[in-house]
Amino acid sequence: MSVEFLHTMIRVGDLDAAVKFFCEGLGLVEVRRNDYPQGKYTLAFLASPDDIRRAGYDGKDRLPAGLPMVELTYNWDESEYGGGRNFGHLAYRVDDIYGACERFQKMGVTINRPPRDGRMAFVRSPDNISIELLQKGEALAPAEPWASAPNIGSW
């Protein structure tokens, strides 16, 4: 089994203040930003200069696989998060998303967001931390039992 750490997601109430904190204070570099008007949110991805250098990223091409990042998620209609809702999830790339979900299921772990699309799933750790699983490479063809499995709980 191969697994690769991708990013940690944090919800922020003030994107500019958060970017300033992480970039000016901690020394991270913003490597990508995308606005999603249909969903009313913005994603900003930050990485350390050392990780950027190790990954060989020149700032021009597509982000390289294996560049660990912090994802700042700014929901345009929300400015405060209570009860730990500002921490989002950890994300890992896996070789076989169906196999990974099957392993978790055999361990008694609930698949909160099944990989219906053959690309993405969410589970929760024993401490209730949300974990995103992403298929390495192209999405797998939709397959049962996952294609028709409902969401369970939240992620």
Neighbours of 1 (CB within 10 A): 8
Q: What whole-number distance in Å separates Cα of residue 98 and Cα of residue 142?
A: 10
132 given a catalytic annotation: yes
> From the candidates 24, 80, 132, 144, which is the catalytic residue?
132
- Sheet of strand 120-124, all strands in order from the earlier edge strand to the far edge: 29-36, 41-47, 69-75, 3-12, 87-94, 130-135, 120-124, 111-113
d(CA 77, CA 38): 12
Residues taking part in catalysis: 132
